[in-house]
């Protein structure tokens, strides 16, 4: 049968593989234990490649897995074969998780998502990198703990649109929050260490992050074991970081709290 090939598994059981050739490229469509199902995949693939259907018209072509359907439509339209369910547009691309979920990305992310499959568990999107699960939101500066509308916003209201111009991150770091103090917008650094402590209000998120790290440093010097992690401030080199660090004076009440704990531990 054209486009269908019989094969055997290691246990000797027979199954049928389906594939199609288009524009000189051999494309695997999938496999089935039933020859008729494998044949249906081939015939459906031919229909998709010979028609003008769009990715939004999947219902007549369900003999094909949806992700393979998207791949074929994109190859037919763009001439570029991409293994993952990606559809290229003029200035961006779509990644389809299923017929009802279309994610949008800038073209600069195409290489990454061509080689990394996006998965979803509950409300969480992630990719697998070297056996590790990487939260997709964190790729765009949105931390796992972030609250939509408070820590970040999708400017056009579409939370499936991950184009950089559509994402505004308000609070990038744990322990740092953008707030209004009078007419000024400042960044508050707070640390939870046997109580909630305000480290200070700062004119920039970067300075607040350095202050947060200094507060953690001082706590660890006195034997405390904060659960909080240090903030990696990637926009500063070592010299710039050290200059800011040396300029920061931590609140007296916080330092007294640390000293009291240190004395208590020694007694």
The three-state secondary structure class of 51 is coil
Query: What is the residue-wise DSSP string for 19-32?
Result: EEEETTEEEEEEEE
Token reading at 83: 């293994």
Give the rounded distance of the alpha carbon of 196 from its chain centre: 30
Give me the half-sphere count of Cα atoms (radius 13 Å) on the Cβ side of residue 203: 2
Question: 87-91, 123-127, 209-213: which has the minimum mean pLDDT?
Answer: 123-127
Residue 215: the pLDDT is: 93
**Is residue 201 scored above 80 in pLDDT?**
yes
**Is residue 192 scored above 90 in pLDDT?**
no
Residue 116: the pLDDT is: 93
Q: Which residues pair with residue 178 across a beta bridge?
A: 187
The three-state secondary structure class of 134 is strand
Token reading at 45: 């693939």
Residue 198: the pLDDT is: 93
Spatial separation of the C-alpha atoms in residues 10 and 4, rounded to whole Å: 19
Number of neighbouring beta carbons within 10 Å of residue 242: 12
Residue 207: the pLDDT is: 95
Q: Are 162 and 104 in contact (CB under 8 A)?
A: yes
Query: Which residue has tokens 């439509």?
Result: 73
CB-based contacts of 222: which residues, under 8 Å, 6+ apart?
258, 259, 261, 262, 265
* Prediction pTM value: 0.76
127-161: pLDDT as tens digits: 987 777 888 998 888 887 788 888 899 999 999 99
Q: Where is pLDDT greater, at 223 or 18?
A: 18
**Is residue 209 scored above 90 in pLDDT?**
yes
Residue 267: the pLDDT is: 67
Spatial separation of the C-alpha atoms in residues 143 and 150, rounded to whole Å: 12
Q: Exposed e or buried b for every residue in 221-233, given b needs 16+ CB within 10 A?
A: eeebeeeeeebeb
Q: Are 178 and 170 in contact (CB under 8 A)?
A: yes
């Amino acid at each position: 049968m054209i486009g269908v090939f019989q094969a055997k598994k290691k246990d000797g059981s027979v199954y049928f593989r389906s594939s199609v050739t288009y524009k000189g490229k051999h494309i695997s469509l999938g496999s089935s234990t039933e020859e008729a199902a494998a044949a249906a995949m081939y015939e459906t693939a031919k229909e998709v490649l010979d028609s003008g259907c769009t990715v939004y018209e999947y219902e007549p072509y369900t003999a094909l897995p949806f992700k393979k359907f998207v791949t074929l439509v994109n190859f037919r339209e763009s001439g570029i074969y991409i293994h993952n369910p990606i559809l290229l547009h003029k200035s961006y691309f779509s990644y389809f998780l299923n017929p009802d979920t279309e994610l949008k990305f800038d073209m600069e992310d195409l290489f990454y998502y061509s080689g990394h499959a996006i998965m979803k568990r509950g409300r969480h999107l992630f990719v697998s990198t070297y056996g590790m699960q990487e939260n997709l939101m964190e790729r765009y500066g949105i931390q796992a703990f972030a609250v939509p509308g408070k820590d970040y916003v999708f400017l056009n209201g579409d939370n499936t649109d991950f184009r950089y111009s559509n994402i505004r991150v308000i609070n990038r770091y744990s322990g740092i929050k953008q707030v209004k103090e009078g007419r000024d917008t400042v960044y508050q650094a707070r640390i939870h260490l046997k109580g909630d402590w305000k480290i200070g209000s700062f004119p920039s998120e970067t300075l607040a992050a350095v202050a947060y790290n200094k507060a953690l440093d001082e706590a660890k010097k006195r034997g405390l074991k904060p659960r909080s992690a240090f903030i990696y401030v990637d926009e500063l080199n070592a010299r710039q970081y050290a200059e800011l660090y040396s300029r920061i004076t931590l609140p007296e009440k916080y330092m007294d709290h640390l000293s009291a704990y240190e004395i208590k531990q020694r007694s």
